[in-house]
């Protein structure tokens, strides 16, 4: 399928304007849409958009960090318990 140069320039301008709006929105702290399976159609970008916002991203990171810290604490407790069991076995076998 062949697209003439004028139509190609128009499509490029639409893509640039969408990308520019997303970057301006991200800088301003607004939501940034990310297309999954987005296709370039006659009306511009078409597809499912997920909205990411700075507060939403920060909430996710904080949640993941606290979950990581909790798991790390559990691992340290388990490590200490295993070390105690190893020492107890060594004392019984000597």
Query: pLDDT, tens digit, for every residue of 71-88?
Result: 999 999 999 999 999 999
Phi, psi angles (nearest 5°) of residue 40:
-85, 110
Domain chopping of the chain, boundaries: 1-52, 53-94
**Structure-block tokens of residue 53:** 């916002």
Contacts 24+ apart (CB under 8 A), 36-42: 40/11, 40/14, 40/15
pLDDT of residue 53: 95
Full-prediction pTM beyond 0.75?
A: no
Q: Which residue has the higher pLDDT, 49 or 89?
A: 89
Contact 50, 34 (CB under 8 A): yes
**Structure-block tokens of residue 13:** 């301008």
Closest residue by Cα to residue 31 from 59, 53, 57, 55: 53
Give the mean pLDDT of 46-68. Answer: 89
The pLDDT of residue 25 is above 70: no
């Amino acid at each position: 399928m062949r697209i003439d140069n004028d139509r190609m320039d128009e499509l490029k301008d639409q893509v640039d304007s969408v990308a520019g709006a997303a970057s301006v929105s991200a800088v301003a702290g607004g939501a940034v849409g990310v297309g999954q399976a987005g296709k370039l159609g006659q009306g511009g970008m078409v597809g499912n958009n997920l909205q990411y916002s700075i507060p939403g991203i920060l909430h996710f990171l904080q949640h993941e960090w606290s979950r990581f810290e909790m798991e790390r604490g559990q691992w340290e407790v388990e490590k200490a318990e295993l070390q105690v069991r190893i020492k107890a076995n060594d004392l019984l076998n000597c």
